[in-house]
Amino acid sequence: MTGWREVTQGDLDGFATVSGDDNPIHTDAGYAASTPFEVPVAHGMFLFSLVRAELRRRWPVARMVEQRLVFPSPTPVGARVRVLLEEGTDEGGLLAVTTRVESERGAAGLTGRCLLDLSASDPLASAELPASGATPQTQAGEGADWWDGAVGRTHTLSRAFSEGDLAAYGELVGDHVPEGRVPEALVAGLFSTILGVHLPGPGTNYLKQELRFGAAPRTEEVLTATVEVARVVPHKRLVYLATTCTGRSGRLAAQGQALVLAAGVPAG
């Protein structure tokens, strides 16, 4: 991505379709009008997608090892944004890059830091985890009693991405994804889908996400994402979560932690 780009409702609808994250704060103008945002706002993972595309343009063969994401302020429909990258200190053979998506008004919709492996290796033999046996739970219910017993609650989502999905994603965000490989933002988008649609549920606002990536999944490979509530602060409606995604034979695709504002669930 070079220069400025306007975030349109078509962008958000397109990302909702390809990722599965149709949280109404992104796709429903009527719903968004009833929230503090007033208008639909960009998916955090859509902004991450713009960052990943710019990283790939700068370092075409680099493998993303780690990405830390913070979403300081919402990015509303109609905002013009750009991606800023700043190289940091090489850490143990990895390149550290500071990442930022900012609007013309100077507000940061995303800040973060990633580690890139410039060796162009593709470690298919990454750490393996047992397949998740978690059972999907219902989405956030109405009322403060949602917070009772929230810690330990889990939701699991399985999906395989097709070449058509990757083509639509690449056209949408301007990323030339290697053939047959699922981009990191779509892997992380499985977590976003769970958070915004199921647990905690509609209205959830991403605040932070830390991710460490294993081998890049292949198209048509069934991915299983699991989100587990690790800690809650009911009076502030904050939910801390553990996030894990595995692929074939339990191979680790991504693992990390998230912090969200469960805006759709009344405070306890």
75-129 confidence digits (pLDDT tens): 999 999 999 999 987 767 899 999 999 999 899 999 999 999 988 555 443 433 3
Mean pLDDT of the chain: 88
Q: What is the C-alpha radius of gyration for the chain, rounded to an integer number of angstroms?
A: 18
SS3 61: coil
Residue from 48, 98, 37, 100 nearest 261 by CA? 37
Average of per-residue pLDDT across 221-243 = 96
In a domain, 210, yes or no: yes
- The total of structural domains in the chain comes to 1
Average of per-residue pLDDT across 34-55 = 95
Q: Give the CATH number, domain containing residue 240.
A: 3.10.129.10
- Say whether pLDDT at 161 is over 60: yes
In a domain, 268, yes or no: no
Quickly tell me which residue has 């339990």 as its tokens.
Answer: 250
- Cis peptide bond upstream of 130, omega within 30: no
- Domain with 180, as residue range(s), is 5-261
How many angstroms separate the CA atoms of 24 and 267, rounded?
20
pLDDT at 49: 97
In a domain, 58, yes or no: yes
Q: What is the DSSP letter of 138?
A: P
In a domain, 266, yes or no: no
Quickly tell me which residue has 């805006």 as its tokens.
Answer: 263
pTM of this structure: 0.87
In a domain, 30, yes or no: yes
Q: Specify the long-range contacts of residues 128-136, CB closer than 8 Å, at least 24 apart.
A: 128/249, 128/250, 128/251, 128/252, 129/244, 129/246, 129/250, 129/251, 129/252, 130/250, 131/224, 131/246, 131/250, 132/156, 132/224, 132/226, 132/244, 132/246, 134/226, 134/228, 136/198
